Amino acid sequence: MDDSLDNWFIREILVHERALMRYLLRSWYRRDEIHDLRQDIYVRVYEAAAKARPAMPKSFMFTTARHLMTDRLRRARVVSIDAVGDLDALNVLIDEVSPERRLSARQELKQLTEAFDRLPDRCREVVWLRRVEELPQKEVALRMGIGEKTVEKQVAKGMRLIAEYFYGGGHTHRSRERAAADAEHGDGHGQQQAD
């Protein structure tokens, strides 16, 4: 349990998820694997950082991403020509990973607001009552006339979707998200350039 490592990870790695997602989407030929790929990248970065913190976290994350994709391609039996072509481009892409520009608090709030507005109705209402009005879950259940278990489920869904939209910019519009979220709002403007 290393809190400072956890904080480092949130502060130095997670903030670049949007850029990472763009990179993965551009470089990886199978969209349905991206969620999994992202997890693997995070696991590797986290475990490496547990031994020694990389001096340049963002580059380190992208380098890790590249290695992982290369490994996967080597292991894959069938390799699409596209993928190989892309992989050659990967080195270039990393260099052009945009220079650091932290979002201002205001831009962040804006993105957060957009993420919030894309939540399905009921989920959105639960998040509002819980986070903005700070009502306990029990109270939210009473207010909305639904069960406490339902509120808890909506909270879980809310945080998954907010993470997806806010960190990842909502690049992952896929059927599985629909399975998890019974509605998908917005027109996918998550493609906006954040950095």
CB of 139 to other proteins, least distance (A): 9
CB of 154 to other proteins, least distance (A): 8
CB of 55 to other proteins, least distance (A): 16
- Nearer to other proteins among residue 29 and residue 128 (C-beta): 128
CB of 90 to other proteins, least distance (A): 21
- Nearer to other proteins among residue 89 and residue 149 (C-beta): 149
Q: How many residues does the chain have?
A: 195
- Nearer to other proteins among residue 39 and residue 80 (C-beta): 39
Q: Which residue has the tokens 């979002």?
A: 103
> Can you tell me the distance from the alpha carbon of 47 to that of 88, in angstroms, rounded to the nearest whole number?
27
CB of 59 to other proteins, least distance (A): 19
Helix-helix angle 17-27:81-95, to 10 degrees: 150
Footprint on this chain of other proteins (rule: CB under 8 A): 1, 3, 6-7, 9-11, 14-15, 17, 35-36, 38-40, 42-43, 46-47, 103-114, 116-117, 124-125, 127-134, 136-138, 143, 148, 151-153, 155-160, 162-163, 166-167, 176, 180, 185-186, 189
- Nearer to other proteins among residue 76 and residue 84 (C-beta): 76
CB of 155 to other proteins, least distance (A): 4
Q: Residue by residue, what is the 3-state secondary structure of the chain?
A: CCHHHHHHHHHHHHHHHHHHHHHHHHHCCCHHHHHHHHHHHHHHHHHHHHHCCCCCHHHHHHHHHHHHHHHHHHHCCCCCHHHHHHHHHHHHHHHCCCCCCCCCHHHHHHHHHHHHHCCCHHHHHHHHHHHHCCCCHHHHHHHHCCCHHHHHHHHHHHHHHHHHHHHCCCCCCCHHHHHHCCCCCCCCHHHCCCC
- Nearer to other proteins among residue 31 and residue 84 (C-beta): 31
- Nearer to other proteins among residue 66 and residue 118 (C-beta): 118
